[in-house]
Chains A and B, each alone.
Chain A
């Protein structure tokens, strides 16, 4: 359990952020929201006013003149581009902050150098210097270096920034595998919705230095009154569910959604039946119909009454049946959409992204 209530002024920018999260969490927000600043303040690398409490231990409480320096917080920071020590080999980078297992602490990959090197596929890199590593390799080493210090909380700053899609997917898989194996809770800072969902169950939405929403990802991201402006969480429908069955003939897989309902996504044999998945679809991919659609190719249609209509930055956001759709003002006028009106929301199977499988 991590809770923080921090205040920090930096030139013209002011960060005032308070939230409490348990389990893996993501701070999600557009660039310039203050995400990295918040991460540094939690790590003690920037001096912020206020409190940080981790698992019952007070890391800072400036009202009571308590402020632990970063070396006494035991937080494992994985910076955006790795920031490996250029004068040390990969092996010495990894061992730089290594801590032994404390009495009574559970065994795990932590502290166990060989197991970690294997889990993160670092063996071929050990004798090399950071300048000869690729971006993805450097991040893997940085992750290993942080984990070997046996942190109480792993802090990740934009872990896939600058990596192509395939490398980003592998990087996230490495983070998940390592953090799971160590049972190390993590806090990731990102402007990518899929990345937040892939790593975290709880989400803190940050915008212009303020927390605009916090809580379980599924709840926060589908809640009404999401942040205004170019926020990554703004336009997405996100659902959690369980893979129910596969129909290779029809080319679809069915996912039972938490809270009822089924969504059909393109057939993917790699998703085992019964496994948990997170699905996302952008609001602009959702169709709105005022009559029950017939002869429509979209496989996912839900009916509901319009809960809200919001016009923002030249788009109209319509919420109904638990989904949000983004329309042009002209389309909304033509359909005479109004709160309370019964509509059908339709999504093509191929519009869904399986973010966590």
Chain B
């Protein structure tokens, strides 16, 4: 039995939202750390963060499977101590989306944070703010559009995630199947009209989100040029 298109859409959006929520705080913190200069290992962290963006998503999925699978170090431990299964569950879909979309959030948020005049942050420091308070009260509020644009981009990327997901979560209808996986499956079984419909729905959702990012970024340019 296949899940109806509405259930598919709902599940895909839920997974993408959960993945974005999962990466948001760590992603913004990493972006902030990368936007600050002069600490050792910055280049290394930067490369590590960007890797999921450039390696084949299937390689990311394979790595996740090795770590989270029942025989993997994390998956095995979770299974023994808590009785949790991760691989081939909706949680694995969320994790796969999170890993793949994390670099997009970090890169976008980082460039927004770097656009803020460092002089303003210096003044905030002289006015008694430590680095964290300075980030919360000045740096993040001035970069919020870029940070939000990064989150939306990460969300859009998660909507279309395929390669990492199919390896670590499989393509189980009604359980781990997202829109992207469903299109693949429909084509394989020769239901091309259905596949086309799902592809159209995916495109519409992605287009709407990206349009929103574009509008957000435009607004930021206006704000800076004032």
B128 lies within 8 A of A83 (CB): no
- Chain B interface size range: 10 to 19
A99 within 8 Å of B (CB atoms): yes
Residue of B117, B128, B226 contacting most chain A CB atoms (<10 Å)? B128
Most buried by B among A76, A86, A146: A86
Q: Bound state CA distance, A320 and B109, in angstroms?
A: 65
- Which of A25-33, A67-75, A229-237 faces chain B? A67-75
Using CB atoms, name the residue of chain A closest to B118.
A45
Q: State whether A99 touches B128 (Cβ < 8 A).
A: yes
Task: Report Cα–Cα, A85/B124, bound state, in Å.
Answer: 9
The answer to whether A79 touches B128 (Cβ under 8 A) is no
B130–A83 touching, CB < 8 Å: no
Q: Is the CB of A83 within 8 A of B123?
A: yes
Residues of chain A lying within 8 A (CB to CB) of residue B127: 71, 96-97, 145-146, 149
Contact B142 A86 (CB under 8 A): yes
From 59 to 105 in chain A, residues with beta carbon under 8 angstroms from any chain B beta carbon are: 69-71, 73-77, 79, 83, 85-87, 96-97, 99
Which residues of B lie under 8 Å from residue A69 when comparing CB positions? 125, 130
A131 to B226, CA, bound (A): 7
Contact among B119, B129, B137, B226 with A83 in the assembled complex (CB-CB below 8 Å): B119
How far is the CB of B191 from the nearest CB of chain A, in Å? 52
Interface size class of A (residues with CB under 8 A): 20 to 34
Q: Is the CB of A77 within 8 A of B126?
A: yes
Indicate which residue in B120, B129, B137 contacts A71 across the interface (CB closer than 8 Å): B129
Q: Are B126 and A70 in contact (CB under 8 A)?
A: yes
A77 x B122 contact (CB < 8 A) = yes
- Check: B141 CB closer than 8 A to any chain A CB: yes
Q: Which residues of B contact A71 (CB under 8 A)?
A: 125-130
In the complex, whether B91 has a CB less than 8 A from a CB of chain A is no
Is B128 within 8 A of A77, CB to CB?
no
Residue B216 CB within 8 A of the other chain: no
A60 to chain B, nearest CB (A): 14
**Residue numbers in A under 8 Å from B130 (CB-CB):** 69, 71
Q: Is the CB of B126 within 8 A of A73?
A: yes
A87 to B127, CA, bound (A): 16
**Which residues of chain A have a CB within 8 Å of any CB of chain B?**
40, 43-45, 69-71, 73-77, 79, 83, 85-87, 96-97, 99, 131, 145-146, 149
- Knowing that A73-B126, A96-B127, A146-B127 touch, tell me 11 more A-B residue pairs with CB under 8 angstroms: A43-B122, A44-B125, A45-B122, A69-B130, A71-B127, A77-B123, A79-B122, A85-B142, A87-B142, A97-B128, A149-B128
The 13 listed contacts between A and B (C-beta, < 8 Å) are A43-B126, A44-B125, A44-B126, A45-B122, A45-B125, A45-B126, A73-B126, A74-B128, A76-B126, A85-B142, A86-B120, A96-B127, A96-B137
